[in-house]
Structure formats: C-alpha cells, structure tokens
Amino acid sequence: MSDFLQHWQLTTKPFEATWDTRFYYRSPQHQEALDRLLYLASERTMSVGMLTGDIGCGKTITSAMLAQSLDPCAFVVVSCENSGFSFDELLQYILWQLEPDADHLPESKFGRCEHLKALCESAAERGRHVIILLDEAQDIPEETLRQLGWLTNFNGNGRPLLTLLMIGQPPLRRLVNSNQAIQQRIGLRFHLMPLTETDTAAYVAHRLKAAGHADGSVFEADALVQLHHLSRGIPREINRTAKLCLEHAWASGDEKVSAQALHDVACDLYRQDQLLGMSTVLSCAT
C-alpha cells in the first residue's frame, strides 16, 4: 500500500467506504442540509426532523457532521445506526447510550419511557438538549414509528425535552406520510440530491487533498466528466469507481487517471454486473 500512496503522493487512501468526517465535502446542498439540521437542533422546539436521499448520497456522513458540530456542553447526541427494530429495542438502546453505566433498566415500557423522560429532564436542568439520530429510518416498522411519537410529548416548561432526527432513503417519506401524527410533528425536511458535474469534480479533488495530495489534480478533466456520468453524481458510486481508477492507473504506471483508465474500469464493472446477473438467474433456475 505504501507504494500506492507514494505513487499518488497521498498519506491515506482517499475513497474508502468510511464515514470519516475529514472527507466531508460541503457541496452547496450538503452545506444547506447541515445548516438546516444545526438550526433544527439549536431551536430545540421542532420535535422531529427528516433527512432523506437516495442510497449513497451522503446522508449518514452529514448526520455525523451534525453530531460532531454540536457543542457537547449544550447537547446530548444519541446515534442509532440502524432503526428497523421494535420500539422496545430502540428505547432500550437509547437508554443504554444515555446511561451506559446503569446497572439495570426498568422492566416495563411505561417505566422505560418515564426513565427516558427523567434523563431528558436532568439534561435540560444542566442546559443540555437530547438529540436522537435514527439512521436507516425507512426500515422503522409502522408501529414503532407510532410509538416514537410518544417521545415527542416529553416537555419541560412547555418546551420539548428531545428532538428526533430520522435519516433514510425516499421510502421514509411515504412511511411518514402514512402517519399523520408524526407528519404533523415534523418541523424540518430536507432531501439530498446527487452531485452536479461541477460538484463531482470538486468532490474528487477535495477527497484527494484531504488524503494528503497537494492540489487534488489526479484525474484528467475528461475522466472527471466520464466519472460523473458513470456514477450519476452519487458520492458512494464516485468513491467506488474512483478507487478502482486509482488502482488501475497505478498498476499501469500512469501519472494521471485518464479517460481511458476510467473506460477500462467501467467496462470491467459492466462485465462483473453482467456475470452477477447471470449467476443470479442460474441460481433462481436451480
């Protein structure tokens, strides 16, 4: 790996599938999403927020940036990476995050709700507001979503004691729209779109610079155009393809990632997808 990094003048790999906030690219829409989420948190009165976007558009890393940006003296942040569980299971996880040293939890659902309320009240007395981030929220069962609405009834001196932020793929919007009680509580909605061609180029350069390159100019201009069209501007797809392009160009001894390198990678990806499709059909047939 050291030869690879040295070849590209990097200190770390730039396109790995991690949520490292050093690589967060503040496109105009990602910055707007983050600003709105910070407003949601700072208001402390909006009860529920919803951040949606297609797979790989940067929802999770945006929520990670939110958590990192919030003053720990003013906020308590609980992050649930997967939300497709029963209300009891989510409630248990939230309580464990808020009180990791607790010897035991109340046995009943009512007792656990009251305990959560007491923890939120205690935080509020110290000037801290509880933020609960529910990722992969499109997987929340309908009954769980209904019961999560109970938590928005917690209030102290007429102000909500916690804020829920649901983060998920587009089906989350249909799920929420089917529950009028939750829908009416949503104080903020934002939908992340894929990057534009200009932002795709800037995104690639940003990640390369964050990984140690002097100016991020590793991909030729026409390769960046092709990369945008191949990835459709979806950050996760950009990462996957750009990573393969760097490895291909390095193995070929190239000093830049050319349009030809990107074409070779695209053809290989297409062949692999075709083979995967064939194996799936054969598997179903047997």
Angle CA 212–218–219, to nearest 5: 140
Residue 134 host element (H or E): strand 129-134
Residue type at position 149: G
Bridge partners of residue 156, in order along the sequence: 159
Q: What is the pLDDT of residue 278?
A: 42
Q: What is the pLDDT of residue 19?
A: 83
Q: What is the pLDDT of residue 1?
A: 60
SS3 279: helix
pLDDT-flagged residues of the chain (< 70): 1, 275-286
Q: For residue 135, give the nearest of 222, 67, 214 by alpha carbon.
A: 67
Q: What is the pLDDT of residue 205?
A: 98
Q: What is the pLDDT of residue 283?
A: 45
Q: What is the pLDDT of residue 275?
A: 59
Give the separation between CA 61 and CA 221, rounded to whole angstroms. 27
Q: What is the pLDDT of residue 286?
A: 41
pLDDT digits (tens, 9 = 90+) for 225-278: 999 999 999 999 999 999 999 999 999 999 999 999 999 999 988 887 775 554
Give the separation between CA 178 and CA 174, rounded to whole angstroms. 6
